[in-house]
Amino acid sequence: MQRGVRSAVGVAAAAATVQYVPSTVALGQWTRLRALPGDLCRWRGDGGGVALTFDDGPSPAGTPAFLDRLDRLGLVGTFFVLGSLVQEQPDLVAEIRCRGHQVETHGHQHRHHLARSPRWVHRDLQAAADALAAVGVRPRWYRPTYGQATAATLLAARRRGWRPVLWSAWGREWATTDPAAVAATIGRRLAPGAVVLLHDNDAFGPAGMWKVGLDALDRVADDLHRRGLVAVTMDQLVP
């Protein structure tokens, strides 16, 4: 009896390890690693461009402002959108695509995956897929919320043919109100193949966060030009 109990506990512990240990893949943003074997998760591209990516939209306030600024600066970006917000703002998704940018998925709800079961993760990704399908988008790239990717996250993404991607340079707009500081933080990791993270919605961070990132874009554009780097979409960065 005791042996059976110990065996069951051991199996449960092993299952928990398989589920939660992969969340450490977020550490890849602080290394030179471009991707895990089999493209299980990616932080950088193999080409010479830079992918500017924007999370947590679409937002009726932030997203149009970013689209206008990108147009003015002559930059292209990739928007990782939440399915729940796509359902509320389908026209904004169409506008993103109409302006020549790429739309990918950020899941359906903005929740921590470490606290969710594999079944919940599967349902969340399916809901995101359904929301985007309703507006004519079939995503190829997937960014887990909060950069948390458990075994269930990676498996559910792979089953849908999605390529998980995190980032190699981020603005950390939630930690400052100074656009120059955001641009400087990005600039320290700006290099060929970089995946840059900013946010076009402040619903999951400090109020006004997206405005800080928006005002940092001009400096980021100057930095790209100075280094001879070109902004590209995720599909262009990693065909």
Catalytic residues: 55, 199
Task: State which amino acid sits at residue 47.
Answer: G
Spatial neighbors of 54 by CB under 8 A, at least 6 apart, are 63, 66, 77, 78, 79, 80, 198, 199, 200
The number of residues in the chain equals 239
Beta carbons within 8 Å of 223's beta carbon, 6+ residues apart: 183, 186, 187, 190
d(CA 5, CA 169): 46
**Structural contact between residues 32 and 64, judged by C-beta atoms closer than 8 angstroms:** no
d(CA 114, CA 121) in angstroms, rounded, equals 10
- In angstroms, the CA 62 to CA 198 distance is 11
What is the rounded CA–CA span in Å between residue 212 and residue 187? 15
Residue 47 CB burial class (10 angstroms; 0-12, 13-18, ≥19) = middle
